[in-house]
Structure 1
Amino acid sequence: MDLQGGKAFGLRKAQQEEWLDGINKQFLSDPKYSSDEDLPCKLEAFKKKYMEFDLNGNGDIDIMSLKRMLEKLGAPKTHLELKKLIREVSSGSEETFSYCDFLRMMLGKRSAILRMILMYEEKNKEQQKPTGPPARKAISELP
């Protein structure tokens, strides 16, 4: 990628982040969700997760982005399963879901499969954090 392309990508990501922040503000002022004291932290985490998988930066997660997301999380799905997940989350198209759809799923009471996968991934990350210095090993013990 040339310098100009990298600059455009950075600008596009900054614009995307600004746009997602605007949506987060709408959710913060929504009485349906405002009783949650952790909402600002949750929204920030959800925004980062969404941006990580909105690879083309167009604001929607398509089937290929969802496929990559679930593969990275260790939960690969078939094409039909991916279409079903998108249909479960999306309020509009059967091809993509928006950030608003994503937030409604993550903050909602309904138990969406995608939500459970993402929550499991977060719990798994918390458990994997090493504490303290690594144990000493003799050279003969190394793989």
Structure 2
Amino acid sequence: MNQTKDFQGGKAFGLLKVEQEERLDRINQQFLDDPKYSSDEDLLPKLEAFKKKYLEFDLNGDCNIDIMSLKRMLEKLGVPKTHLELKKLIIEVANGPGETISYPDFLRMMLGKRSAILKMILMYEEKNREQEKPMAPPAKKAISELP
């Protein structure tokens, strides 16, 4: 990680993101090797999708989602929460007192049978995104029909 201090701007950020992805890939491999999850259908594509979602909200690159990142994530999804509600979400996902949601905790929540509130919010957001996709190209309009 010290090598990133030698660079500035985009290079440092790029190196940080590469290191972050490599750490998450190693954790994904642990889940792929875990017999507890071996019966899960399409485990690899699920882990890749979860990694992408996690990277979107792990803004400081330390492989943990802190309370401010969680707040931004839920606001972006249109589900703002109070500070107390955010703390409860973190405790629920982390299965105990903590200040952050680690990637393994996030994966256990997403792959588990338990319906955590955060899991439901993320699944709802994904379903909404699927519904927004247009099924056909937009109809062609004449210039006179334009606003």
User: Residues 3-57 of structure 1, C-alpha deviation per residue, up to 9 Å, x if partnerless?
Assistant: 8221011001000000000000000011111111210000000000000000000
In the alignment of these two chains, the number of paired residues is 141
Query: Which of 25, 43, 54 is matched with 1:21 structurally?
Result: 25
Query: Which of 101, 111, 116 is matched with 2:115 structurally?
Result: 111
C-alpha displacement of 1:92: 5.3
Counterpart CA distance in 2 for 1:81 and 1:92 is 15
Which segments of structure 1 move beyond 6 Å, counting only runs of 4 or more? none
- TM-score when scaled to structure 1? 0.92
Contact 1:91 1:97 in 2 (8 A): no
User: Residues 72-97 of structure 1, C-alpha deviation per residue, up to 9 Å, x if partnerless?
Assistant: 11111111111100010014542111
Gap regions ≥5 residues in structure 1: none
Counterpart CA distance in 1 for 2:139 and 2:79 is 31
Counterpart CA distance in 2 for 1:118 and 1:110 is 14
Structure 2 counterpart of 1:10, which letter?
A: G
Counterpart CA distance in 2 for 1:140 and 1:76 is 42
Structure 1 counterpart of 2:90, which letter?
A: I
Structure 2 counterpart of 1:22, which letter?
A: R
In the alignment, structure 1 residue 128 sits paired with structure 2 residue 135: no
In the alignment, structure 1 residue 80 sits paired with structure 2 residue 84: yes
CA RMSD of aligned residues (A): 1.6
What's the counterpart of residue 99 of structure 1? 103
- TM-score when scaled to structure 2? 0.89
Counterpart CA distance in 2 for 1:98 and 1:44 is 16
Which sits farther off after the overlay, 21-30 or 126-135?
A: 126-135
Counterpart CA distance in 1 for 2:97 and 2:28 is 22
Three-state SS of the structure 2 residue aligned to 1:32 is helix
Structure 2 counterpart of 1:75, which letter?
A: V
